[in-house]
Amino acid sequence: MSAEPTKYWQAINLGLREEMERDPKVFIMGEDVGVAGGTFGCTRGLLDAFGAGRVRDTPISEQAIVGAGVGAALVGMRPVVEILLMDFLGIASDMVVNQAAKFHYFSGGKTPVPLVIKTAVGSEVGMGAQHSQSFEGWYAAVPGLKVVWPGTVSDTKALLKAAIRDDNPVLFMESLSMLSERGPVGGPDDVGELGRAEIVRSGSDVTLVGYGAMRSKMVDAATLLDEDGVSAEIVDLKTIVPWDRETLFGSVARTNRCAVVTEAPRDYGPSGELASEVGEHCFDDLDAPVTRITSPSVNAPHFAQYDAWRVPQGDTIARAVRRMLGHAA
């Protein structure tokens, strides 16, 4: 691990740089990734280091960006394509859903698609209803795609490296709300494992499970619950597809209760899928129905302080757990 804390955008930059140095087939393209160094700084300095052939500014066309990435992956390259915000990825849905996710299947397993679609997601920064949405559930429902949303600076770098090395198309999400965070990161050989969850904190009374920016909110909630004598275990999925059932189910078997925490809205969201899986597979272990703690099904407001109300926070998670346990909320 690095001695000094690394900024979130620097961790992404470092992961890209290390993989581009390691493998000449890796390149990045997207809007403002070259000369401008990325809207959030994530590609700063890469153009000078690797040249315009491997750091490519593109027109404002999400369909063209992802489509070109699919084509490059099919001929043996390892493209990383950047879509500034997840809200804009819907414009390229045909390329993502009907092309990238299906070529391996169409070719009878002969043609891999080693493509990373890198995009910023989430809320709490006051960017409004068209720039703050969590659509991970949309893409998690598409066979053939891997979906990753890390929750720490260290995991962001390590799992980005793993995504680039994977032979499947990976949707890699970065949290807008974490842009100002700092943390330690590993060296060039520290590569994460897609599909492996982490038990962030051991506990005995309830399992809190989530991913992405909700990891820190669950930690805040567990600290508050400690004051009530409630011991919360925290499971960070890290990878939404494929997700680590073994780790989550094992945790629920120990705690006998489960609360699913997501930034995505409740109605038809990923929280329902996770709650259903736990309900089906851990029925005999559960002492209470699975609780879901999510954003309400409303659009994100433009004011950051109201958006913070909309997204689950440590205190709202703790209150929901207290209700589950029959404590005064």
Q: Look-up: residue for tokens 């709202």?
A: 316
pLDDT tens digit sequence for 12-67: 999 999 999 999 999 999 999 999 999 999 999 999 999 999 999 999 999 999 99
pLDDT tens digit sequence for 177-189: 898 899 999 999 9
Token pair in block for residue 76: 């043996």
Q: What is the pLDDT of residue 306?
A: 81
Q: What are φ and ψ of residue 243, in 5° steps?
A: -110, 155
Q: What is the pLDDT of residue 275?
A: 98
Q: What is the pLDDT of residue 77?
A: 98
Q: What is the pLDDT of residue 131?
A: 85
Q: How far is CA 67 from CA 70, 190, 288, in A?
A: 5, 30, 46
What does the angle CA 101 – CA 105 – CA 108 come to, to the nearest 5 degrees? 155
SS3 239: strand
Residue 320 neighbours by CB under 8 Å, 6+ apart: 259, 291, 293, 329
pLDDT for residue 204 is more than 60: yes
pTM attached to this predicted model: 0.95
Dihedral Cα 152, 158, 164, 166, nearest 10 deg? -100
pLDDT tens digit sequence for 150-186: 999 999 999 999 999 999 999 999 999 898 899 999 9
Name the more confident of 140 and 1: 140
Q: What is the pLDDT of residue 130?
A: 85
Counting Cα atoms < 13 Å in the Cβ hemisphere of 252 gives 28
Quickly list H helices, 148-290: 153-165, 214-226, 245-255, 270-281
Longest Cα pair distance anywhere in the chain, in angstroms?
Answer: 61
Q: Cβ(101)–Cβ(127) under 8 Å?
A: no
Query: Rounded to whole angstroms, how far apart are CA atoms 156 and 162?
Result: 10
The amino acid that residue 236 corresponds to is D
Domains defined for the chain, CATH in brackets: 6-183 (3.40.50.970), 198-325 (3.40.50.920)
- Proportion of the chain above pLDDT 70, given as a percent: 98
Q: What is the pLDDT of residue 189?
A: 96
The rounded mean pLDDT for the chain is 95
pLDDT for residue 196 is more than 90: yes
pLDDT for residue 4 is more than 90: no
Q: What is the pLDDT of residue 1?
A: 61
Query: Rounded to whole angstroms, how far apart are CA atoms 207 and 199?
Result: 10
Name the strands in the sheet holding 258-265, side by side, starting at the edge strand that comes first in the sequence.
198-201, 232-236, 206-210, 258-265, 291-295
pLDDT tens digit sequence for 246-281: 999 999 999 999 999 999 999 999 999 999 999 999
Q: Give the Cβ contact number of residue 12 at 10 Å.
A: 23
- Proportion of the chain above pLDDT 90, given as a percent: 88
Catalytically annotated residues: 62, 131
- What is the rounded average pLDDT of the residues 87-96? 96
pLDDT tens digit sequence for 113-149: 999 999 999 876 778 888 888 999 999 999 999 999 9
